[in-house]
Amino acid sequence: MDKRRKNYFGCIANERIQELTNEQRLKLFKKKKLYVSSSVVAIPFNKTINLNDKSNFKTRLEPCPLLLDTYYAFILQRYQEHINNVFINFFHQFNNHTIGLKKKEAKIIARLLFMNIINNRNAPGFDFVHLLENPDGIPKLENTPKIELYYTKHEAMKLNAIQNYPEGLNEYLTGNANYFNEKLINKITILKEIIQFEGELKIILALNEQYKFEKYSTPPPSIGNQSETKSSKKDSKDPIFKNKIPTDDEMDAYLMKYVFSEKDKFSLIVILPLLLLVIFCCFPFLYNRI
C-alpha cells in the first residue's frame, strides 16, 4: 500500500463514524479535508442569470480528488482477482477458438467481440464528436475514440463508487479491510459494475493493442497487472457480454463490404462458414446476457 493511500485508509478509525448522522459525517469529512466544498449554479435554458448574485449559487461537498483516486485504487486491489477473471474467461475462449486462423480471419472475430463490448450496457452511455474543417472549408465530423470514452467513464466510476455506496467509504476510512470480501460483491451493485467494467476495459485495451482498431490520444488508466496469477480462476460458464451478437445477415453484409473484394468471392464461400461456426458455436455465452 503506497504512502498516499495509507494516509486515508484507517484515517478516522477512532471517530465512531457509524454512529454519526449523514450531516455530522460530512462535517467530519470536511474537517479532515477529505471532502471539499464548491459553489455551483444551475444555468437555466433560454434564461439569463446574474452570476454576481451569490443567492443563485449552492454549496456542494464532494470527495477530494486524491480520496477518489485512492479509494477506487483500494477497491481495484481488493477485487483484482475478479477483474482478472473477466479478462481470463474471455481470452481463454477466444484463444482456443481462433487456433489455426490467419490474423485477418481472427481480426474479424475480434472486431465483432470488440464491438459487442463497447456497445453493451457497461459501456459509456455517452459520446463526443468534433466538427472540423479541412483547409478548403469542407466539414468533417470525427467521433471520439471509444477507448477515450472508457477512460472518461473510468474517472466517473470513482465518484460513483462513493455516491452509490457511501457505507463502503466509511469502512475504508475506519480501516476495515476485511469488510470488502467476496460476499459483498453479490450484495452491492456498484461493486459488480466496477468489476465488470474494469475487466472489459482490460479486454478492449488488449484487443486494440493486438489488432489496432482505433487510435487514441488519452493515456489509458492504470488497470493493474493483466497476467494470470496462481490465484486467478477460470470459469468458462461466467458470461461476459450483454448485447446480442450480429445476425447471420448482418455478418454476411459486413464481410462482403469490408473484408472480401469481388475477386475474393471464392474465399468468402470457403471461409464464411468457418467464421460463423466459430462465432455462433464457440461463443454461446454471448446469448446469455442480452
Average confidence score pLDDT of the chain: 79
Residue 38's contacts (CB-CB under 8 Å, 6 or more residues apart) are: 59, 60, 62
Residue scoring higher pLDDT (23 or 230) = 23
* pLDDT, average across residues 4-26: 83
pLDDT of the residue at 135: 87
Residues 127-165: pLDDT tens digits?
Answer: 888 888 888 889 989 899 999 999 999 999 999 999 999
Q: Is the pLDDT of residue 76 over 70?
A: yes
Q: Is the pLDDT of residue 226 over 90?
A: no
DSSP three-state, residue 133? strand
* pLDDT, average across residues 229-248: 41
Distance of CA 126 to CAs 118, 121, 123, 153, Å?
A: 11, 11, 9, 9
| Whether the Cβ atoms of residue 222 and residue 80 lie closer than 8 Å to each other | no
Q: What is the C-alpha separation between 212 and 183, in angstroms, rounded?
A: 38
Q: Is the pLDDT of residue 98 over 70?
A: yes
C-alpha cell at 95: 484463444
pLDDT of the residue at 126: 86
**Three-state secondary structure along 226-253?**
CCCCCCCCCCCCCCCCCCCCCCHHHHHH
Q: Is the pLDDT of residue 239 over 50?
A: no
Own/partner long-range contacts of 11-16 (Cβ < 8 Å, ≥24 apart): 11/173, 12/173, 12/174, 13/173, 13/174, 13/175, 15/174
pLDDT of the residue at 259: 45
C-alpha cell at 149: 470514452
pLDDT of the residue at 117: 95
Q: Residue 32: which pLDDT band, with cuts at 50, 70 and 90?
A: very high
